[in-house]
Amino acid sequence: MTVQDFMEKVAARNQNEPEFLQAVQEVVESVWDVYISNPQFLEAKILERIVEPERMILFRVPWVNDKGEVQVNRGYRVEFNSALGPYKGGLRFHPSVNLSILKFLGFEQIFKNSLTTLPMGGGKGGSDFDAKGKSDSEIMRFCQSFMLELYRHIGANTDVPAGDIGVGGREIGYLYGMYKKLENENVGVLTGKGLNWGGSLIRPEATGFGVVYFAEEMLKTIGESIEGKRVAISGFGNVAWGAVQKINDLGGKVVTLSGPDGYIYDEDGITDDKIDYMLYMRASNRDVVQDYGDEYNVPFHPDKRPWEVKCDVALPCATQNELDEVDADNLVRNGCICVSEGANMPCTPKAIEILQKNKVLYSPGKASNAGGVAVSGLEMSQNSLRLNWTREQVDERLHDIMKAIHYQCVQYGQGDDKYVDYVRGANIAGFLKVAQAMLDQGLI
């Protein structure tokens, strides 16, 4: 059997799911040699089993808008793999959401969670709900209706959702309120909760902080650091917000942000005094980055991506497939030395090939954006202990976890020329732990 034979079978079973197949292809290519040289894995058909979700739940989400009109959305939860612990992963609310996207995200989450060193399985969920232009009460009613079905499938020891695109602290609050009303219990069934009701310090910043900690580790391998570097960031959501803060802390300068409408270029940098404006833009539900350009009188480039500007480090933090081969060529030509993914699968396979061929330090999201789910894991620990750790305690653990993930990538991904293939490293390290756990637990 070859990778191609294997992928043909997966493709036949998962038609019209390009994002899912893209994610599977990458992992299968990375782990293939390890897989076929281990008779136990082969006999137990670990890879065939790992690409099949343990359970997928699809449901109707009816709600009423401010005009009194009935609306219908679709809700999903993909419970992909529980070998390492309860299913764990975010909820995405975005009009583009479909089964292919949630299966790709759930699949990636298995290996990401494995890399964190914490006991968490992989899952993902969400809805095609579009928050753009919706009022706060509409968002609340939608979240309540969504939980009215989801609650029976999740639990603090079963499946623990969190945020992703379109789901932040506000949405988690409405979802948690409804869960509590239905189950009459206060438990760590969701993460990303508010600080006064079970949330963890640093969780909002965690993904962005983690991406930058990871980039710092990558840069160290070539004797470099974030200090003094020009950084291009895409998105202006939760992940981008945390990354900007940490880049500033470490003495770098972020010169771009982007949205579905284009990107802004701020030569003076997104300095600390401008960071709160990112929160304002997200909470406005307008979904445009042009507002930043107007507010600070800096250039806005409509319908363009930030990868055409000169930068040393690029952190794609918006969404999947937002950096293609043309963008990768531009980055290489402009002297970019490090691309670390904040979003899930933002670089296309061709872009990755170009970056790696040019020996640019490149890390896949499952390694570099794992800080978010890692601190979610720490939130679960604090909930179980009924204790809150300090900012410093959580940040230190996060930093240590990002270093541990980096170490695993180097261990399995470093080649003879010392260049680290972080894709191979992350996939093999993440896979081995899950595969062994599946073997240990028998045919389930």
Closest to ligand 2IT by CB, 364 or 372:
372
* Marked catalytic residue, from 124, 134, 246, 274: 124
CA distance 357 to 351: 10
Task: List all residues 6 or more positions away from 331 whose beta carbon is below 8 Å from its beta carbon.
Answer: 307, 311, 314, 339, 355, 360
Identity at 18, one-letter amino acid code: P
What would the two tokens of residue 226 be? 């974030």
Choose among ligand 2IT, ligand NDP, none what residue 260 binds, the Cβ cut-off being 5 to 8 Å by kind.
ligand NDP
| Rounded distance between C-alpha atoms, residue 124 and residue 103, angstroms | 7
Give the residue with the Cβ less far from ligand 2IT, 190 or 311. Answer: 190
> CA 439, CA 339: separation in Å to the nearest integer?
35
Q: What angle do CA 91, 94, 100 make, to 5 degrees?
A: 75
Residue nearest to ligand 2IT (CB): 90
CB of 248 to ligand 2IT, least distance (A): 23
> Is 9 considered catalytic here?
no
Residues making contact with ligand 2IT (CB under 6 A):
88-90, 112, 162, 164, 191, 344, 372-373, 376
User: What is the side-by-side order of every strand in the sheet holding 159-162?
Assistant: 55-64, 70-81, 122-127, 87-93, 159-162
Establish if 394 lies at the interface with ligand NDP (CB under 6 A). no
CB of 75 to ligand NDP, least distance (A): 18
Q: What is the C-alpha separation between 265 and 253, in angstroms, rounded?
A: 12
Q: How far apart, in whole angstroms, are the C-alpha atoms of residue 403 and residue 413?
A: 15
**Stretch of residues binding ligand NDP (CB under 6 A), selected from 15-23, 77-85, 133-141, 342-350:** 342-350
- Check binding of 259 to ligand NDP (CB under 6 A): yes
| Nearest in space to 326 (alpha carbons), one of 308, 310, 304, 301 | 308
Between 89 and 346, CB nearer to ligand 2IT: 89
Collect all residues with Cβ–Cβ distance below 8 Å to 380 and sequence separation of at least 6. 156, 160, 188, 191
Applying CB under 6 A, does 369 fall inside the site for ligand NDP?
yes
The one of ligand NDP, ligand 2IT, none whose footprint includes residue 89, by CB under 5 to 8 A per kind, is ligand 2IT
Is residue 83 a contact point for ligand NDP (CB under 6 A)?
Answer: no
Distance of closest approach, residue 223 Cβ to ligand 2IT, in angstroms: 30
Q: Tokens representing 129?
A: 């709900």
DSSP structure class, residue 63: E
Rounded Cα gap, residues 238 and 343, in angstroms:
10
Q: What is the DSSP string of 135-164?
A: -HHHHHHHHHHHHHHHGGG-BTTTEEEE-B
From 20-28, 61-69, 163-171, 268-276, span contacting ligand NDP (CB under 6 A): 163-171
Applying CB under 6 A, does 425 fall inside the site for ligand NDP?
Answer: no
Does 235 bind ligand NDP (CB under 6 A)? Our answer is yes
Of the candidate residues 47, 317, 328, 352, the single one contacting ligand NDP (CB under 6 A): 317
161 binds ligand NDP (CB under 6 A): no
* Residue 342 lies near ligand NDP (rule: CB under 6 A): yes
User: Could you say which of ligand NDP, ligand 2IT, none residue 238 binds, taking C-beta under 5 to 8 angstroms by partner kind?
Assistant: ligand NDP
Q: Which is nearer to ligand NDP, 43 or 303 (CB)?
A: 303
CA distances from 230 to 56, 83, 124, 359, 393 (A): 43, 41, 33, 19, 30
Select the binding partner of residue 88 from ligand NDP, ligand 2IT, none (C-beta < 5 to 8 A, by kind): ligand 2IT
Report DSSP state, residue 228: T
User: Which residue's CB is nearer to ligand NDP, number 41 or number 168?
Assistant: 168
Tell me the C-alpha distance between 229 and 411, whole Å.
27
Q: Say whether residue 89 binds ligand NDP (CB under 6 A).
A: no
191: partner contacted, choices ligand NDP, ligand 2IT, none (Cβ within 5-8 A by kind): ligand 2IT
Beta-carbon contacts of 48 under 8 Å, excluding residues fewer than 6 positions away, are none
Q: Is 372 in the site for ligand NDP (CB under 6 A)?
A: yes
User: Among residues 240 and 331, whose Cβ is nearest to ligand 2IT?
Assistant: 240
List residues with catalytic annotation: 124
Residues that bind ligand NDP (CB under 6 A): 90, 94, 163-166, 168, 207, 235-239, 259-260, 282, 287, 317-319, 342-344, 369, 372
